[in-house]
Amino acid sequence: MPLPVIDIFAGASSASPMRALSILPFTADGVEQALELGLAIHRAAIEVCGAIAPGEYDESTLESLVVAIESLGLAPGAEVGILVDVGAGRLYAGGRYGGPDWSADRREWALRVASWLDGYPIAGIVEPFAEQAALGRLCRDAADRVRVIADESLASDAERIAAAAAEQSASGVVLCPESAGTLSELRVAFDAARLAGWPVFMGGGEIAVDDASVVHLATAWQAGYVKLGAVGDGTSLARWNEALRIEASLRQAPGAFRVQAAARMVH
């Protein structure tokens, strides 16, 4: 089974430095335990923040997530990984990163991203820069600490994935069926990512919340991770329920069940 990626803070404003913050339940023995852990961390985050609502996600949000994890007696980074989704392409224009209330040049933004990685136990960061050269520098400088995950920039395309692997401008990828266009193309992209030794995150993207097909793909292809969405708000029930159903059916066959561990994150 792939390990669920669980959104804790999602739905940020368009100019938010961080688009979403998710957890990777490294110690979970399957989907059911991951769900229980995700719910516990979600409740703990509410206690820390008072509420979880879409808005501006930044260093203070990251700090709240770390505190929530630690409040349960868990070790951030070792037992629970943190995935920061930046999606910097939406923040970049004219050589600068920013939004209505903030702005940073390339150097300032690079220093800010570096401060996140130095200050917090982040296991993976999704597209922290809009420029390939900057992504490559981060991959080289932080290869032993964090995975640099590509998403929209590679568009689930096998040729782009192979090129990024050769240039070392990414070390993981989010694959979405609607980005690839066809399942055949998605499978070729998946194989290219595995050939590069990358962890693969099967994502749902803009697929309707009641479409659980991404769970079937992630399980059948033995992807390392599947993005199941949030817990506690009811928006991803179809995907969670299908993952739980598949896991329950697999557990009925003695010796046949295991949590997929191939190409796991640096943590």
Instruction: Show the 3-state SS of 54-107.
Output: CCCECHHHHHHHHHHHHHCCCCECCCEEEEEECCHHHHEECCEEEECCEEEEHH
In a domain, 262, yes or no: no
Residue 70 reports pLDDT greater than 80: yes
Quick check: helix, strand or coil at residue 178? Answer: helix
pTM greater than 0.75: yes
What is the C-alpha to C-alpha distance for residues 25 and 79, in angstroms, rounded to an integer?
A: 7
pLDDT-derived band at 24 (thresholds 50, 70, 90) equals very high
Average pLDDT over residues 117-129: 96
- Residue 73: is it exposed, middle or buried by C-beta count within 10 angstroms (0-12/13-18/19+)? exposed
Total domains in the chain come to 1
In a domain, 263, yes or no: no
pLDDT-derived band at 206 (thresholds 50, 70, 90) equals low
In a domain, 66, yes or no: yes
In a domain, 265, yes or no: no
Residue 262 is predicted with a pLDDT of 41
Parent domain of 231? 3-251
pLDDT-derived band at 257 (thresholds 50, 70, 90) equals low
In a domain, 184, yes or no: yes
> Over the chain, what is the mean pLDDT?
89
Residue 232 is predicted with a pLDDT of 73
Average pLDDT over residues 168-191: 94
pLDDT-derived band at 263 (thresholds 50, 70, 90) equals very low
Average pLDDT over residues 168-189: 93
Residue 11 is predicted with a pLDDT of 83
For residue 140, the domain's CATH number is: 3.20.20.120
Residue 252 is predicted with a pLDDT of 83
Q: Nearest-CA neighbor of 182 among 190, 194, 174?
A: 190
Residue 256 is predicted with a pLDDT of 59
Residue 211 is predicted with a pLDDT of 79
